[in-house]
Amino acid sequence: MASSNKSDSVKKLIKQHPKLTHTENIKVVSHVQREIGEWFLNTLMLNGVNVAFKYKRKKLYKSLTGQYVNITYYPEIETVAGFDIDIMKIVRLKIA
């Protein structure tokens, strides 16, 4: 029953924000955390996906490498050294 509540909350979130995408049970192949000011920028690379997934946290978090996760995200463009790079901005992340 709890899983249907999670599905309902994800469906509601996506309905309110149509640009969001939700992916379940995907494996994290790389997880890097960098301190930037008061925040830790987390970058995930996921199995079979050639785009970085990024999110910020106030505290250092355990490594997610090898874990399966459920994520909700939206596409964004980040400019690095004058080049536009596609990234995915994570708004919700749960270990599967």
Q: What tens digit of pLDDT does each residue of 53-96 get?
A: 999 999 998 999 999 999 999 999 999 999 999 999 999 999 99
pLDDT, residue 9, reads: 75
Between the two ends of the chain, the Cα-to-Cα distance in Å is 16
Could you give the CA distance from residue 49 to residue 44 in angstroms, rounded to a whole number? 10
Domain holding 26: CATH number?
Answer: 2.40.50.110
pLDDT, residue 60, reads: 93
* Mean pLDDT to the nearest integer, 42-58: 97
pTM of the predicted model as reported, rounded to 2 decimal places: 0.83
In a domain, 77, yes or no: yes
In a domain, 25, yes or no: yes
In a domain, 49, yes or no: yes
Strands (E), 1-96: 21-36, 39-46, 52-57, 68-80, 83-95
Domain holding 42, by residue range, is 21-95
31 close to 65: Cβ distance less than 8 angstroms? yes
In a domain, 3, yes or no: no
Nearest to 76 by CA among 84, 66, 86: 86
In a domain, 16, yes or no: no
In a domain, 28, yes or no: yes
Question: What are residue 76's DSSP bridge partners?
Answer: 87
Does pLDDT of 1 surpass 50? no
Q: How many domains is the chain built from? A: 1
